[in-house]
Amino acid sequence: MSVKVSELVPDMNEVNIKVRVLEAGELKEIQTFRGPRTLSEAVVGDETGRVTLTLWGEHAGKISTGDAVEIKNGYTRVFRGEIRLNLGSRGTIEKIEDSEVPSMEEVPEETPQVPEGYEPPRRGGRDFRRGGRSYTRRRY
């Protein structure tokens, strides 16, 4: 089932959405804890609003301003205080008929808002409540 931009909330998975590309950014390479990764960012939207899309890996740089696309199996995360749509290795992006999404002029300025009091889920890493150790240290 397809969702609309206005329905996006933090930490959604398996997001399927049809959007118009309003701005397509350049390829970037960033350093992560897993090593260098390639990405590109774009602003996309539908008749309910707009959102920043981050394309990771093989998807980076595959879209242009004005394209009508369908994203399947995307996911949302909060980055720098805003909800962002992401497309990684498990997702797909395909160009679709222009008539399936509104024109660039018909996309409103509204963006999905992070709910008040939102706390991101903990994702692995060290447990700082135990002094930075992810294990219990034996005392002798």
What is the full DSSP assignment across 48-95?
Answer: TEEEEEEEEGGGTT---TT-EEEEEEEEEEEETTEEEEEE-TT-EEEE
Which residue range is the domain that position 79 belongs to? 5-130
| CATH number of the domain to which 36 belongs | 2.40.50.140
Rg (alpha carbons) of the chain, rounded to whole number: 18
Does 135 reside within a domain?
Answer: no
pLDDT tier, 116 (very low <50, low <70, confident <90, very high otherwise): confident
Amino acid 53: pLDDT: 97
Does 137 reside within a domain?
Answer: no
More confident residue, 135 or 109: 109
102 in Cβ contact with 47 (< 8 Å)? yes
Number of domains in the chain: 1
Does 136 reside within a domain?
Answer: no
Does 16 reside within a domain?
Answer: yes
Contacts of 35 (CB under 8 A, 6+ apart): none
Amino acid 125: pLDDT: 60
Does 61 reside within a domain?
Answer: yes
Measuring CA to CA, how many Å separate 131 from each of 29, 44, 95, 123? Answer: 33, 42, 49, 17
Does 140 reside within a domain?
Answer: no
Taking only the tens place, the pLDDT of each residue in 61-92 is 999 999 999 999 999 999 998 999 999 999 99
Predicted TM-score (pTM) above 0.85: no
